[in-house]
Amino acid sequence: VYICDPVMGDSGGLYVPEPTAAAMRDRLMPIADIATPNRYELEWMAGAPLPDLKSVISAALHAGPPTMLVTSAPSMISGGTGNLLLDGTQALLAEHRLIDKPPNGLGDLTAAVYLARILSGQPAIKALQSTTAAVYEILARTAKRGGDELQLETDAQSLSHPMAMVQLRHLTHPGRDRRA
């Protein structure tokens, strides 16, 4: 299983040279089984703003990989953010409240935890929900301690047995056969 986390930027802009970002979009994303861009990275790859879930879903469908897990996706809850999982049969959104000034590394952690759960045999829906809960719990604990970087050793229990509750929604998948 090849997972591509196209680490190229965030809402502040690209932090890799544009030719590097273009190579990720054009060469690495199309051969991935799973891709985990954040919303900004997907916007850059799509060449357009993605202000709502409909536009994020559309861009994810055209990005190449059969499975896309878009972090920092628009949320349906006020003051929230989400992880949008889109594959050939389903569109799922796991949401939690937004935490100000999050530390770096949340996307990397999300990609790693999601892949570990998939490789351990969890169905995609369970992997999405438990990954989102684990990463959110670690983020919330880091924020509560006033930390500016994730402390995975301290919060290791959150990785294996997250207690945080996240909202999970089944969204309409535009690519699914609606006659079924």
**Residue range of the domain that includes 47:** 3-132+165-171
* Number of structural domains in the chain: 1
Whole-number pLDDT of residue 176? 58
CATH number at residue 98: 3.40.1190.20
Residue 150 lies in a domain: no
For the chain, list residues with pLDDT below 50.
177-180
Whole-number pLDDT of residue 179? 38
Residue 99 lies in a domain: yes
Whole-number pLDDT of residue 136? 96
Residue 152 lies in a domain: no
b/e per residue, 133-154, with b = 16+ CB within 10 A? bbbbbbbbbbeeeeeeebeeee
Is residue 79 left, alpha or beta, with left meaning phi > 0 and alpha meaning psi from -120 to 50?
A: left
Whole-number pLDDT of residue 162? 95
Whole-number pLDDT of residue 35? 97
Residue 143 lies in a domain: no
Residue 141 lies in a domain: no
Residue 140 lies in a domain: no
Whole-number pLDDT of residue 104? 80
pTM above 0.85, yes or no: yes
